[in-house]
Structure 1
Amino acid sequence: MALLDVRFYSEALRESTTMTVILPESAQGQIGMETVESDGKPQVLYLLHGLSDDDSIWLRRTSIERYVAPLGLAVIMPKAGRSFYADEHVGQRYWTFISEELPATVNKLFNVSGKREDTFVAGLSMGGYGAFKLALNHPDRFAAAASLSGALKIAESESIEWLRSNDELPQVWSEKGPTGTDDDLIHLLRTRDRSVLPPLYQVCGRQDFLYGDNIAFAQTARELGIDLVSHLDLDGDHDWQFWDDEIRRVLDWLPLRRK
């Protein structure tokens, strides 16, 4: 695998930013690594970080590089601050950056597939929210989306009330909040054409503080007949031991081209 730390200028953010990138390549000469030769351009997984992290966190806290090596899968890990992948009310245009500028930049810089059937998105916590937000707003771009311990009920959630108390969410969405907007995942479930949505995958441990929000998301999806694989019967907290285990199951679930 080729591991890249890419710095580039973002027009949306009006500043330089970074993304961490894993690209498939031959593992010949690398002890203990296995790769697979892929036909055509590599498929792509956009892998999103959580509230307290950055683009390097998946690489530092999990074995994602080793997990994707035999899959011939490229992994794009962008940096999005504490933005909830939104165009912030006071701050930066992270939604524009993530949803529009980033894929265009990736397809310009790297020889990877830009086809819907070859493009996936996943993330943890805030990144799980971001992954589903991308998939529900742009179902024409993603073949599958996965959330690990996602903040899936941003609107009217008691689980993240502490973010409101320190003015973090009003900074992102103003005092009106995201309820009933395209930043509200429950609203998106109810208003999108479910026949065009990609398959969704959701996992959250029972000891996680976001467990109740994940239950609410799953119940709404089931009521609407949305294609959701939901694993909410596992022991696990909001931590990297859980996410390192579960990202492997996400990779097994993705509709990858397999030899």
Structure 2
Amino acid sequence: MALLQCEFISESLEISASMNVILPQGKLERPFQTLYLLHGLSDNHTIWCRRTSIERYADQHGIAVVMPAVNRSFYADMSHGAKYWTFVSEELPKIARSFFPLSSEREDNFVAGLSMGGYGALKLGLSFPERYAAAASLSGAVDVNRLATEGFGGDISNVFSDPAAVKGSSADLFALAERAADRQDIPMLYQYCGTEDFLYDDNVRFRDHLRKLQINATHVEEPGTHEWGCWDRQIERVLQWLPLKRD
């Protein structure tokens, strides 16, 4: 595998942006299947490589992994900040494919993340089911409406101009799931949360919401808190779960 740190100019962010990329090594028989792997609130594009064995896991499956930096944006076009939703949903895939031999086919593209990144992964998968074959959330901040109304971490006011308007909007995963429920192309969904995690109750509500909508999803829970030992185990399982083309 090759591990690259890539610095590039982002037009949507109007800054020099960063991403780490893992690429399979060897003969290129077709454009690489790709996992967009998203970080949490307090992390950046380097954290998955620093705290898990993602490079080793990706090597076992022959998959490319793109890990962008989005700061504390909640994967949104921020009210007071940059357009990170435009960046991650529109600009990033195009730029990554212009630099590296990554497939643009839906069946070859997947997204996953932890905590804030778990929210971002489900937001991408439910907003653009025609682009992603699977989306996985690990200890995801799935109820952003609750976090917004409670003023989570002081960051929400920077993200949303009116936190009270989050419910039912395109930022609300519960609303996105309702809008996607009748589609035939909903991505495969994977939702994990540890039973001692402070986001566990939110994840239970979202799990039950998907079941009520009759949206099929793989739900996994086990003893655990909001920590990297859990996420390292789970990202290995996510790669095993993905519908990869295995030679």
Q: Shared fold (TM-score greater than 0.5)?
A: yes
Q: Over residues 35-66 of structure 1, what are the superposed CA-to-partner deviations in whole Å (9 max), with x where a residue is unaligned? A: xx674111000000000000000000001001
* Corresponding position: 1:172 with 2:159: yes
Q: Over residues 142-175 of structure 1, what are the superposed CA-to-partner deviations in whole Å (9 max), with x where a residue is unaligned? A: 00000000000111249x93xx165311210113
Match of 1:130 in 2: 120
* Corresponding position: 1:200 with 2:189: yes
In structure 2, give the amino acid aligned to 1:257.
K
The equivalences for 1:151-190 within 5 A come to 151-157=141-147, 161=150, 164=151, 167-177=154-164, 178-190=166-178
**Is the CA contact (8 Å cut-off) linking 1:38 and 1:72 kept in structure 2?**
no
Equivalent position to 1:244, from 224, 232, 237: 232
Match of 1:2 in 2: 2
In structure 1, give the amino acid aligned to 2:230.
F
* Corresponding position: 1:216 with 2:192: no
- Following the alignment from structure 2 to structure 1, what is the Cα–Cα distance between the partners of residues 24 and 238? 18
In structure 1, give the amino acid aligned to 2:173.
L
Moved over 6 A (4+): none
Match of 1:43 in 2: 33
- Following the alignment from structure 1 to structure 2, what is the Cα–Cα distance between the partners of residues 60 and 251? 18
- TM-aligned CA distance change 1:235 to 1:166, over 3 Å: closer
Match of 2:220 in 1: 231
Cα distance, 1:179 vs structure 2: 1.2
Cα distance, 1:180 vs structure 2: 1.1
Cα distance, 1:122 vs structure 2: 0.1
Match of 2:105 in 1: 115
**Is the CA contact (8 Å cut-off) linking 1:19 and 1:77 kept in structure 2?**
yes
In structure 1, runs of 5+ residues without a counterpart are 27-36
Cα distance, 1:195 vs structure 2: 2.2
- TM-aligned CA distance change 1:51 to 1:166, over 3 Å: closer
Match of 1:69 in 2: 59
Cα distance, 1:196 vs structure 2: 2.1
Is the partner of 2:145 in helix, strand or coil?
A: coil
- Following the alignment from structure 1 to structure 2, what is the Cα–Cα distance between the partners of residues 214 and 238? 13
Cα distance, 1:72 vs structure 2: 1.0
Q: Which moved more, 1:238-247 or 1:173-182?
A: 173-182
Match of 1:148 in 2: 138
- Following the alignment from structure 2 to structure 1, what is the Cα–Cα distance between the partners of residues 84 and 56? 29
Is the partner of 1:186 in helix, strand or coil?
A: helix
Q: Over residues 12-49 of structure 1, what are the superposed CA-to-partner deviations in whole Å (9 max), with x where a residue is unaligned? A: 000101000000004xxxxxxxxxx6741110000000
**Is the CA contact (8 Å cut-off) linking 1:22 and 1:65 kept in structure 2?**
yes
- TM-aligned CA distance change 1:89 to 1:125, over 3 Å: same
- Following the alignment from structure 1 to structure 2, what is the Cα–Cα distance between the partners of residues 69 and 97? 27
